[in-house]
Chains A and B, each alone.
Chain A
Amino acid sequence: MTVKLPRFTFWRGVFVFVVLAGIYASYVRFTQGLGAATNLSDQFPWGIWVGFDVLCGVMLAAGGFTLMAAVHIFNVERFKPIGRATLLTAFLGYVLVVVALMFDLGRPYRIWHPLVMWNPRSVMFEVAWCVMLYTTVLSLEFAPVVFERLRLERPMRILRAISIPLVIAGVILSTLHQSSLGSLYLIVPQKLHPFWYSPLLPVFFFISAIAVGLAMTIFESSLSAKHFRRQLELPLLQELGRILMVVLGVYLVLRVQDLYHRGALRMVLEPGYETYLFMLEMALGLVLPLGLLLNRRMRESQGGLYLAAVLVVLGFITNRLNVSITGMEAAAGVHYIPKWTEIAITASIIAIGFFIFALAARYLAIFPEERPQAELRMPAELSHVAAD
Chain B
Amino acid sequence: MGKAILYDATLCIGCKACEQACSEQNHLPYNETIAAEEATSEHKFTSVLTRGENYLRRMCMHCEDPTCASVCPVGALRKTELGPVTYEESRCIGCRYCMVACPFSAPKYEWGKVLPGVRKCTMCAQRVAAGQATACAEACPTGATKFGDRDELIAEARQRLAQNPTQYVNHIFGLSEVGGTSVLMISGVPFERFGMRSNYVQEPLPLLTYRVLSRIPDLVTLGSVLLGGVWWITHRRAEVAAAEGNATKPGEKEPETEKNP
- A residues with CB within 8 A of B: 30-36, 40-43, 45-46, 69, 72-75, 77, 80, 104-108, 110-111, 113-114, 117-126, 128, 164, 168, 171-172, 175-176, 180, 183-184, 186-191, 199, 202, 228-230, 328, 367-370, 373
Report the separation of the CA atoms of residues A228 and B111 in the bound assembly, to the nearest whole angstrom.
Answer: 45
**A107 surroundings in chain B (CB, below 8 A):** 92-94, 115-116
**B95 surroundings in chain A (CB, below 8 A):** 104-106, 124
Is B99 an interface residue when CB atoms closer than 8 A count as contact? yes
Q: Which 7 A-B pairs have the closest CB atoms?
A: A106-B94, A35-B111, A75-B234, A124-B73, A125-B73, A117-B74, A45-B99
Chain-A contact segment, one of B18-26, B156-164, B183-191, B200-208? B200-208
Is B28 an interface residue when CB atoms closer than 8 A count as contact? no
Residue of B nearest to A74 (CB): B234
User: Is the Cβ of A110 less than 8 Å from the Cβ of B92?
Assistant: yes
**B117 surroundings in chain A (CB, below 8 A):** 106
Residue of A nearest to B238 (CB): A75
Q: 30 interchain pairs (CB within 8 A)?
A: A31-B114, A33-B114, A33-B116, A34-B116, A42-B105, A73-B231, A75-B235, A105-B94, A107-B92, A113-B91, A114-B93, A119-B72, A119-B73, A119-B75, A120-B213, A121-B210, A122-B72, A128-B73, A168-B224, A168-B228, A172-B224, A175-B223, A176-B216, A176-B220, A186-B209, A187-B205, A189-B201, A229-B260, A229-B261, A368-B257
User: Is the Cβ of A175 less than 8 Å from the Cβ of B219?
Assistant: yes
**B109 surroundings in chain A (CB, below 8 A):** 34, 42, 45, 106
User: Is the Cβ of B99 less than 8 Å from the Cβ of A73?
Assistant: no
**A35 surroundings in chain B (CB, below 8 A):** 111-113
Report the separation of the CA atoms of residues A36 and B110 in the bound assembly, to the nearest whole angstrom.
Answer: 11
**B250 surroundings in chain A (CB, below 8 A):** 75, 77
Report the separation of the CA atoms of residues A187 and B237 in the bound assembly, to the nearest whole angstrom.
Answer: 45
User: Is the Cβ of B75 less than 8 Å from the Cβ of A124?
Assistant: no
**A106 surroundings in chain B (CB, below 8 A):** 92-96, 109, 115-117
**A122 surroundings in chain B (CB, below 8 A):** 70-73, 75, 97, 209
Is B259 an interface residue when CB atoms closer than 8 A count as contact? yes
User: Is the Cβ of B73 less than 8 Å from the Cβ of A105?
Assistant: no
Task: State the total of A-B contacts with C-beta under 8 angstroms.
Answer: 185
- CB < 8 Å neighbour of A183 from B212, B223, B260: B212
**A191 surroundings in chain B (CB, below 8 A):** 100, 103
**B97 surroundings in chain A (CB, below 8 A):** 122, 124, 184
**A189 surroundings in chain B (CB, below 8 A):** 201, 205, 208
Q: How far is the CB of A62 from chain B (nearest CB, A)?
A: 16
Is B256 an interface residue when CB atoms closer than 8 A count as contact? yes
Report the separation of the CA atoms of residues A121 and B42 in the bound assembly, to the nearest whole angstrom.
Answer: 27
Report the separation of the CA atoms of residues A230 and B235 in the bound assembly, to the nearest whole angstrom.
Answer: 29
* Additional 19 contacts, C-beta under 8 A, given A106-B93, A168-B228: A33-B114, A34-B116, A36-B112, A43-B105, A45-B100, A73-B234, A106-B95, A107-B93, A110-B74, A113-B74, A114-B93, A117-B76, A119-B75, A128-B73, A172-B219, A172-B223, A183-B212, A230-B261, A369-B259
**A104 surroundings in chain B (CB, below 8 A):** 95
**B116 surroundings in chain A (CB, below 8 A):** 33-34, 106-107
Q: How far is the CB of B249 from chain A (nearest CB, A)?
A: 11
**B260 surroundings in chain A (CB, below 8 A):** 229
Report the separation of the CA atoms of residues A228 and B260 in the bound assembly, to the nearest whole angstrom.
Answer: 11
User: Is the Cβ of A46 less than 8 Å from the Cβ of B205?
Assistant: no
User: Is the Cβ of A187 less than 8 Å from the Cβ of B224?
Assistant: no
Report the separation of the CA atoms of residues A111 and B108 in the bound assembly, to the nearest whole angstrom.
Answer: 20
- CB < 8 Å neighbour of B254 from A40, A80, A183: A80
**A125 surroundings in chain B (CB, below 8 A):** 73-74
- CB < 8 Å neighbour of A114 from B73, B100, B220: B73
Q: Known: A40-B111, A171-B227, A183-B213. Contact between A370 and B91, CB under 8 A? A: no
Q: Known: A46-B96, A75-B235. Contact between A121 and B213, CB under 8 A? A: yes
Is B32 an interface residue when CB atoms closer than 8 A count as contact? no
Report the separation of the CA atoms of residues A13 and B34 in the bound assembly, to the nearest whole angstrom.
Answer: 48
Report the separation of the CA atoms of residues A111 and B103 in the bound assembly, to the nearest whole angstrom.
Answer: 26
Q: How far is the CB of A167 from chain B (nearest CB, A)?
A: 8
Q: Known: A33-B112, A41-B111. Contact between A113 and B93, CB under 8 A? A: yes
Q: How far is the CB of B62 from chain A (nearest CB, A)?
A: 18
User: Is the Cβ of A126 less than 8 Å from the Cβ of B96?
Assistant: no
Hey, what's the 0/1 contact readout for B230-241 against A, CB within 8 Å counting as 1? 110011011000
User: Is the Cβ of A74 less than 8 Å from the Cβ of B230?
Assistant: yes
Report the separation of the CA atoms of residues A260 and B91 in the bound assembly, to the nearest whole angstrom.
Answer: 43
Report the separation of the CA atoms of residues A184 and B92 in the bound assembly, to the nearest whole angstrom.
Answer: 18
Residue of A nearest to B114 (CB): A33
Is B46 an interface residue when CB atoms closer than 8 A count as contact? no
User: Is the Cβ of A42 less than 8 Å from the Cβ of B231?
Assistant: no
Residue of B nearest to A30 (CB): B114
Hey, what's the 0/1 contact readout for B18-56 against A, CB within 8 Å counting as 1? 000000000000000000000101100000000000000
Report the separation of the CA atoms of residues A11 and B186 in the bound assembly, to the nearest whole angstrom.
Answer: 63
Residue of B nearest to A73 (CB): B231
Is B67 an interface residue when CB atoms closer than 8 A count as contact? yes
